[in-house]
Chains A and B, each alone.
Chain A
Amino acid sequence: MFDDRSPIYLQIADGIKNDVLSGALKEDEQIMSTNQYASFYQINPATAAKGFAQLVEEGVLYKRRGIGMFVSPDAREKLRADRRERFFAEVVDPMLAEAKRIGIGVDEIVRHLGGAR
Chain B
Amino acid sequence: MIELHGLTVRYGSTVAVDDVHLDLPTGKIYGLLGRNGSGKTSLLSALASYRRPASGTVRIDGADAFENPAVMRQTCFIRDTLDVNDSERVRAVLCFAGWMRPGWDAGYAARLTDLFELDPRKRISALSRGQRSALGAVLGLAARAPLTILDETYLGMDAVARSHFYRELLADYLARPRTIILSTHLIEEVADILERVIILDRGRVLLHEEADELRGRGVTVTGPAEAVGTFAGGHPVLGERSLGGVREVTLDWRPEPADVARGEAAGLTFGPVGIQDLFIHLTSASQRLEAVR
Residues of A within 8 A of B167 (CB): 42
Which one of B195, B215, B261, B273 contacts A46 once the chains associate, using CB atoms below 8 Å?
B195
Residues of B within 8 A of A44 (CB): 29, 170, 192-195, 211-212
B171 on the A face (CB < 8 A): yes
User: Shortest Cβ distance from A107 into chain B, in angstroms?
Assistant: 24
Q: Is the CB of A38 within 8 A of B212?
A: no
Q: A44-B192, A47-B212 are in contact. Are A5 and B272 (CB under 8 A)?
A: yes
Q: Is the CB of B216 within 8 A of A7?
A: yes
Residues of B within 8 A of A97 (CB): 265
Q: How many residues of B contact A (CB 8 A)?
A: 23
Q: Is the CB of A8 within 8 A of B174?
A: no
Q: Is the CB of B174 within 8 A of A3?
A: no
B23 on the A face (CB < 8 A): no
A35 on the B face (CB < 8 A): yes
Q: Is the CB of B215 within 8 A of A5?
A: yes
Q: Is the CB of A8 within 8 A of B215?
A: yes
Q: Is the CB of B195 within 8 A of A5?
A: no
Q: Is the CB of A43 within 8 A of B193?
A: yes
Which one of B28, B170, B213, B274 contacts A4 once the chains associate, using CB atoms below 8 Å?
B274
Residues of A within 8 A of B166 (CB): 42
Q: A4-B275, A7-B215 are in contact. Are A42 and B174 (CB under 8 A)?
A: no
Report Cα–Cα, A41/B170, bound state, in Å: 11
CB-CB contacts below 8 Å: A1-59 with B = 2-9, 35, 38-39, 41-47, 50
Q: Is the CB of A4 within 8 A of B192?
A: no
Report Cα–Cα, A50/B28, bound state, in Å: 14
Report Cα–Cα, A97/B274, bound state, in Å: 29
Q: Is the CB of B272 within 8 A of A4?
A: yes
Question: Which A residues are within 8 Å of any B CB, using their own CB?
Answer: 2-9, 35, 38-39, 41-47, 50, 94, 97
Known: A39-B170, A41-B192, A44-B194. 18 other contacts (CB 8 A): A4-B273, A7-B212, A7-B216, A9-B212, A35-B174, A38-B170, A38-B174, A39-B171, A42-B167, A42-B193, A43-B192, A44-B170, A44-B211, A44-B212, A46-B28, A46-B210, A47-B211, A50-B212
